[in-house]
Every structure is written in C-alpha cells, then in structure tokens.
Structure 1
Amino acid sequence: MKKILLIMVLLFVVGCSQSEGPSATITNEDLYKGNIGLVANFGQNMPPVKVYENDIFPVGIELSNKGAFDIIEGYLLLNLEEDNMELEKGDIIKNLKLKGKSLGNPKGDMEIVSFFVKAKELGKETETITSNIIATSCYRYKTFFSKTVCVDTDFYNLKKAKKACSAQDMVFGSGQGSYVPIVRIEPNMMEDDGIIKPMFVIYIENKGQGEVTNPNSIKKICSDEQINPEDLNYIEVEAFLSETPLVCRPSPIKLQEREKVVRCVLEEGISKDVPSYSTILTVNLDYGYTDTISKRVEIRKII
C-alpha cells in the first residue's frame, strides 16, 4: 500500500490552472448572473479514503472561481488533527489568485492546490482510527449591481402631465455573479419642503454556505489568530444615483441573519418641479468570504 501511495505522490500534478477560450454566446450581462463565487472540492482520491500509519499521501483541493470578480487576495488553510496527521512539507497556508468569469474566460480560473500529509504511527492497542482533514478558503470578493431606476417626482400621481416613468419595487432572482447578491429594491420618494429625496431600500442576502467577513481581515481569519467578532458578518456598502453618491445606513452592515436591509438616500434631493426621469442606480458591496470543506480519512495499523 505504501508503494502505491508513493507512486501517487510522484505522479500527482502539484497545481494547475485553466482558462476557457472566448464564447460566441455569452454576453457581459451573463457574467453578472448566478449566486456563486469560489467553489472548493477535494480532488479524486486526494486524500484517499484509507491509508496506513506512516504513509505520505496527497491532499488536493480543486478551486474554481465561478463568480464575476477576480480573487486578488485569497488564502487556503489546511487543518489536520495533530494527534493523527502532520504536514510532510510546505506550509499549511497557501496564497490564492484566481480570475473570475470574463468574455474570454466564461468559466473563470480553476486551480488545484496540493499538500502532502503524513499519517502518524498508531498506538500499540489501536488498529484503526478516523481523522478529519479540513480546508478553509478566505478571500476578498465584491458584488456589483447596476440597474435603471425611476426617480419619480410625482410618486402619488398628483400632476396632470404624463410621467416618463413610475417608481416600482424590483426583485432580482438571477444574482450578480457572487454569493452575496442584492435580491430586492424598494424605491421611496420622500418629500421635504418641496424637495424630493429618493431613497432605495436594498435587500442583501448571503446565498452561499460560507460566511461574510471584514475584507481587511481575511488573512487573520484564515490563520490561528483569534478572530474579532466585529470582523464577522461584515459588508461595506456604497451606492450612486448616476454619478452622485448616496448616503447609506447602516454602513458597514452586519449580515447576521444571512439577510440585511440597507437604506440609501440622495440627501441633497431634487426639486419636485423636475419631471420624473430614469437613471442608473449602482451599488457596490465589498466583503471577505470564508467557506470550509472537510473529508474523513481512515488510518490503519500495519500488521
């Protein structure tokens, strides 16, 4: 069995990446669809289901950036049960950089990150033991939202003139190419002494299995350092109406229930005498994202 595992180590490709050629059917709008980001899976038979004590075996993590944004700063942390296994060589933390979907690479980058692990010798009275291998990914990611909205200066239809548009609630089910999409927007035109202050109630949801984190603390989260609770469930928000910044509250937001509402308003307002018009609402979300996968390995005693 040890010989087979050693052959696997020699033949194993330490890392690879791939890009897809340009597609004739994908559009720029298609890139910003889907509720997905970085996907991680253990490679086939990496690690094996069963090994023997003192065996050295590969652990391969297949990583695919299926979202719309490049991972420029990311980390992969391997956790082993130290009583049963140890890293044979290298570091338990690897840096990650994977490009997201693009017109020239519609599936995004894929990479295999490898580790080599040694099963420790079992005790005299132990014939077999099962141990967990855990891989945690931490990376900075974004959500970009841009849609046409109506600035409705006659929200209650009191004017006789025909309006160019009417403000309506909007629901978005196709995502924005990330695990944390904007799922709903409710416009509200607030009037204050002849001034209309457009406000947009924005619903944000975590559609993935992982957790959002402070984008400035992702390296610490993928380490043995103590995590500050304030760094968890953290998203920075900025919004623009055309090119004018909106004031968003709260910001940053805490996504503790996997869904959160943020209200963004044009504080300077516009005169209610201005006719209703359509313009672009842009929302940027900046956050870290962390997710974990695990696999059990049976370690057997050599008899």
Structure 2
Amino acid sequence: MKKSLKLFLIILMAFSLFLVSCSPSPSAGEKPSDTLVALQAVKTGTQGVEMSLLPDSPPAVSYDQNELLALVEVKNKGSHNLQAQDCFVQITGFDPNIILGGFNSPRSCAENVGVLEGKSVYNTDGSSNILEFTSSVNLPLGLTDYNPTLNFLTCYNYHTLASPSVCVDPLFYQVTSEQKTCKPMDVLTPGGQGGPVGITYVGVDMIGDKAIFEINVRNQGIGRVLSPYANIQNCGQASLEYTDLDRLAYNVEMSSGGKISCRPNDGFVRLTSGQGKIICTFSISGVSAFETPLLINLDYSYVQSQKKSVRIIQTPQ
C-alpha cells in the first residue's frame, strides 16, 4: 500500500510537469522580436527558488508503523543557475528521537540533476526537481500520538544582475538642451531582475564631471536575506549569526569605466525593513551627454520556509 501511494504520487507529479511543459511560454525564436520577449521574461521577476509539498506528503495523519514520506518539489524561477552546493532543503521542528532517518538530513535541491537551472531564453520557466524524504517513527512507550509542526526550509545562494540604463552629462550646465541626446534623471526599475532581491530605483545627479547614483536595494521575495557566507547547508539549526542576517554583497560598474567610489565602502549593504541603499560616485569623461548601462551585481543567500502540522498515532495492536 505504501509503495503504491508513493508510485501514484510520483506519476501524478510527472504528469503535472508534462502539462506545464506543454503550456505556451515565451521562447527564443528566429525573429529578434521573439528573442526580445524571451529575454525580457528572463531579466525580470522577483522569485528565486520556490518550494511546495506534494498533496498528502507528508500525510496529515499517519500510523507510527508506517513509513513517513515527504515529497518536496523545488523550482528555480529566477535567472541564476544553482549547483548542487548552492541550494538545500531541510526539515526541522520534530524530535529526532521520535522521527528517525531521512528527515534529519539536508538535501541538495539539485540532487540527481547536477544543476537546477534558472530561466533562460530557451526555457523561460526555469527547471524543477523532486526530493524524497523518508523516515521511520519510534513513539516512546506510553505515548499514543505525536503532533509536531514540520518546518520545511529552503536555503540557497543567489545572484542578481541589474543593468538600468542611465544618462550622464559631464557638461550638464554648459551645453544647451538642443545639443543633448539625453537628460540625467532618476530611473525606476519595477518588476525585479530575476531574483528575490533587486534594484527598485536609481537616483541620478550630476555635479561637474561626477555622476552620483543613489541605488535602492529591496528584498522583493517572501523570505529572509542572508550573507553570501552563511552556512546554507544547515541554516535550519542554530548556525546563523547576527552578521549573517539582512546583509548582502554588491559591486557596481559602468561599461564606460571611470573612477568609482561607493558607500558602504566594504562592499556590503545591510537591509533595514527589507531595504538598503548604495551611493556611488563616478568620474565621467567626454564632452556630451550619453546613455550607458549601470551594472549592479548583488550576491546573497536566501531562506524561506513552509510549515505543515502532522499527527502520528499509535498503530492499533
């Protein structure tokens, strides 16, 4: 019976994935316009790794002599590929002396697939994988039932690249508007950049031949931002420190080069209420206004969770 249920759930999941793969979605084509649509889908979005539990997995109520089974689906809906060491699912919230075996071990999101690929112009949905957790139950003598709330955590490393186009003008006050091809102004970047953390706004100001950018960073997902150096393989346990929370690494460049100075000057920005700010100053060469991409790289780890209550009862003798 247990094997039949497991087989049924796996077949059901495979059929669901087949239906999803058959649904229409933007993809690169022979026309530049087709590729542009697909590229826009890849470069936007506010999701990274999304986790869900298959129906009745684990069951809400089960006997202690039955195998406890949890089938977890992970989907990479962002634009960054994940290697095996970059993403883990972990279950916490239970007594390891009662629930034994596989529930105690973190599992890689890319288990058996090597790489959990993100969105690309050839696959704008990203990829998915199914992880199987199995455990046995050992109810203590005299205990008739056990009711833990299982906490399924997904912890992963991620990268966001934002490239808003900005106008810079080294002779802002010395040239007439008719001679300018663009005017420095603030840039809104709604819709995300293919990850749960992104840039929402870039303020632009010119002081002489220096461009000053106010870059606003926001956690646009439902989870918590962690330092890129956090221990993601065991983030469900007491391995995280204060310095790991709401802290991410950044790097800002302009394709036109030039001397750059950014604050915070240690290359890390801390988020407060999900938001942070980077201030960068560039020396701009040239004699006319021009548009150029501002390349903003964000590196971070991310954790989010889903809870499910289960009840394990003593098998009738």
Does TM, scored on the shorter chain, surpass 0.5? Answer: yes
Q: Secondary structure at the match of 2:310?
A: strand
Q: 1:138 aligns with which of 138, 152, 155?
A: 155
The CA distance in 1 between the partners of 2:304 and 2:166, in whole Å, is 34
Q: Secondary structure at the match of 1:239?
A: strand
Corresponding position of 2:288: 275
Structure 1 segments of 4+ aligned residues over 6 angstroms from their partners: 14-19
* Superposition deviation, residue 149 in structure 1: 1.1
Q: Deviations over 1:221-255 (max 9, x none)?
A: 52645322112111111111115273321120111
The CA distance in 1 between the partners of 2:221 and 2:160, in whole Å, is 13
Corresponding position of 2:113: none
Q: 1:169 aligns with which of 156, 164, 186?
A: 186
Decide whether aligned partners of structure 1 residues 301 and 122 sit closer, same or farther in structure 2, where only a CA change above 3 A counts.
farther
- Structure 2 unpaired stretches of 5+: 111-115
Corresponding position of 1:81: 94
Decide whether aligned partners of structure 1 residues 146 and 188 sit closer, same or farther in structure 2, where only a CA change above 3 A counts.
same
Q: Deviations over 1:10-54 (max 9, x none)?
A: 665499888958835542122011111110011111101111123
The CA distance in 2 between the partners of 1:30 and 1:69, in whole Å, is 13
Corresponding position of 1:184: 201
The CA distance in 1 between the partners of 2:301 and 2:175, in whole Å, is 47
Decide whether aligned partners of structure 1 residues 109 and 241 sit closer, same or farther in structure 2, where only a CA change above 3 A counts.
same
Q: 2:239 aligns with which of 226, 230, 236?
A: 226
Could you say which structure has the higher helix fraction? 2
Q: Secondary structure at the match of 1:28?
A: helix
The CA distance in 1 between the partners of 2:234 and 2:272, in whole Å, is 17
For residues 188-199 of structure 1, the aligned pairs below 5 Å read 188-191=205-208, 196-199=209-212
% identical aligned pairs: 24
Corresponding position of 1:246: 260
Matched, 1:44 2:58: no
The CA distance in 1 between the partners of 2:292 and 2:6, in whole Å, is 58
* Superposition deviation, residue 181 in structure 1: 1.2
For residues 87-166 of structure 1, the aligned pairs below 5 Å read 87-89=100-102, 92-97=105-110, 98-121=116-139, 124=142, 126-155=143-172, 157-160=173-176, 162-166=179-183
Q: 2:280 aligns with which of 246, 251, 264?
A: 264
TM-score, length of structure 1 as denominator length: 0.86
Aligned length: 291
Q: Which amino acid aligns with 2:219?
A: N
Decide whether aligned partners of structure 1 residues 197 and 221 sit closer, same or farther in structure 2, where only a CA change above 3 A counts.
farther
TM-score, length of structure 2 as denominator length: 0.82
The CA distance in 2 between the partners of 1:108 and 1:226, in whole Å, is 30
Asked if 1 retains the 8 angstrom alpha-carbon contact of 2:225 and 2:248, the reply is yes
Q: Which amino acid aligns with 1:258?
A: G
The CA distance in 1 between the partners of 2:233 and 2:242, in whole Å, is 12
Q: 1:292 aligns with which of 274, 284, 305?
A: 305
Q: Secondary structure at the match of 1:217?
A: coil
Decide whether aligned partners of structure 1 residues 137 and 89 sit closer, same or farther in structure 2, where only a CA change above 3 A counts.
closer
User: Which stretch shows the higher mean deviation, 128-137 or 249-258?
Assistant: 128-137
- Structure 1 unpaired stretches of 5+: none
The CA distance in 2 between the partners of 1:220 and 1:230, in whole Å, is 17
The CA distance in 2 between the partners of 1:221 and 1:233, in whole Å, is 17
The CA distance in 2 between the partners of 1:112 and 1:220, in whole Å, is 18
Q: Which amino acid aligns with 2:121?
A: L
Decide whether aligned partners of structure 1 residues 145 and 230 sit closer, same or farther in structure 2, where only a CA change above 3 A counts.
same
Q: Which amino acid aligns with 1:71?
A: L
* Superposition deviation, residue 213 in structure 1: 1.2
Decide whether aligned partners of structure 1 residues 20 and 212 sit closer, same or farther in structure 2, where only a CA change above 3 A counts.
same
Q: Deviations over 1:63-82 (max 9, x none)?
A: 00011111121111122411
